[in-house]
Amino acid sequence: MITILILYTELMPYNVIVIKELVKKGCRVHVVLQDTNKKTPYLPPLFDGVTYYNRSEFRTSDHLFRFVKKVNPDLVWTAGWIDPLYNELAGMIRKKMNLPVIASSDTQWRGGRQWFNVLTSRFRHQQWFSYLFVSGEWQVRYARKLGFRPDQILMHNLSADVNLFSRIDINSRAANYPKRLLYVGRFSPEKGLVYLLKAWESISNRKGWQLTLVGNGPEKEKLTGYPDVEILDFMDQQELLQVMENSGAFILPSVSEPWALVIHEAACAGLPVLASDCCGAVVSFLREGENGYLFTPGDIRSIRHSIEKLLIQPETELLKMGRNSRKLGMQITPEKVAETLLTVLE
């Protein structure tokens, strides 16, 4: 049996479905995860083959290293390099146990302060990690700048729950197409919701459409008082499935977004997708004019123009766009993520 140790921050449902796939493939999985200062209320479910440990239980790298030796994993998968303790531990594992250590990365190359990582990666990232497991094409450039060879870069570390969201019958929308434009995510500045709402408000004829915002976060108070806008609280995936089923399109107006897995979820749900062109996931899941429209981050006029293009589409075209979305969404699956991870042991 293959034993995998995952060192993570906060687990989310899309992480759990990959872990379940690893268990299906006969792996035993141990997960150390953040239990303090969490950003969401989500708690991962308990199931056979997986054991969770609280990050707060481990105060030093030596303490955590003793735990690793006890677990005796075949490989270690860590959530990037945000946690100094995990980084130090990764270096110890590679040096003293000679195990593959894989780090996830959804970070796009931006320059600026990232140059420090580039200049020091020889002594840090390349010592800590055997491989980088990146989200998509835009993340490869950063991985290469950090000095990782093509054979040390694994593709597509994130997947939506494809089986769940593809349950939605796209044709069920045909009888009475739902005029709901849906946003799902944090209510925080980097999501660009203020620009979306101003663009929405500026549209004189919304043709009966409603904008629905689902989530929580510090900007919630700023989102009220706009016409034809509904605000719903953070919800679990089963509830979200129902909301997506009763929606006609999805929008993500982020001004900063390394990946945006929610775009994958919306694509699998068979929704036309509108998104700002800074979102890393648009490379995989959005084709301009075929299943959605891109717009400039923070540009109210550009956002409005994309929404207006959506609103004038006949229902037959919206259904066609939804089918195109689903085809794109099926390219990456939790099973493929798990299979890619295990290739390092071949």
Which CATH number goes with the domain that contains 189? 3.40.50.2000
| Strand, helix or coil for residue 112 | coil
Reply yes or no on whether the pLDDT at 314 is more than 80.
Answer: yes
Reply yes or no on whether the pLDDT at 57 is more than 90.
Answer: yes
Six token digits for residue 341: 């991870």
Q: Do 188 and 264 reside in the same domain of the chain?
A: yes
Residue bearing tokens 């994309």: 306
90: left (phi over 0), alpha (psi -120 to 50) or beta: alpha
Helix and strand counts by DSSP (H, E) for the chain? 14, 13
Q: Do 6 and 141 reside in the same domain of the chain?
A: yes
Residue bearing tokens 């706009």: 226
State residue 51's pLDDT score: 97
Q: Do 94 and 52 reside in the same domain of the chain?
A: yes
Q: Do 197 and 175 reside in the same domain of the chain?
A: yes
Q: Do 222 and 238 reside in the same domain of the chain?
A: yes
Q: Do 316 and 336 reside in the same domain of the chain?
A: no
Range of the structural domain that residue 97 is part of? 2-159+332-345
**Could you read off the pLDDT of 258-279 as tens digits, one per residue?**
999 999 999 999 999 999 999 9
Q: Do 205 and 92 reside in the same domain of the chain?
A: no
Q: Report the pLDDT averaged over residues 275-290.
A: 98
State residue 345's pLDDT score: 96
**Could you read off the pLDDT of 22-35 as tens digits, one per residue?**
999 999 999 999 88
**Angstrom distance (rounded) from CA 213 to CA 186:** 10
Nearest to 74 by CA among 44, 102, 103: 102
Q: Do 55 and 181 reside in the same domain of the chain?
A: no
Predicted TM-score of the model (pTM): 0.94
**Angstrom distance (rounded) from CA 346 to CA 339:** 11
Q: Give me the residues paired with residue 134 across strands.
A: 105, 155
Q: Do 152 and 219 reside in the same domain of the chain?
A: no
160 neighbors 261 (Cβ within 8 angstroms): yes
Six token digits for residue 140: 């490869």
Number of structural domains the chain divides into = 2
Q: Do 132 and 172 reside in the same domain of the chain?
A: no
Q: Do 308 and 216 reside in the same domain of the chain?
A: yes
Compute the C-alpha angle 333/329/283, nearest 5°: 105
C-alpha distances (whole Å) from 5 to each of 11, 24, 70, 73, 103 are: 14, 16, 11, 6, 12
| Strand, helix or coil for residue 231 | strand
**Angstrom distance (rounded) from CA 270 to CA 277:** 20
Q: Do 209 and 291 reside in the same domain of the chain?
A: yes
Residue bearing tokens 């199931």: 47
Residue bearing tokens 């108070």: 221
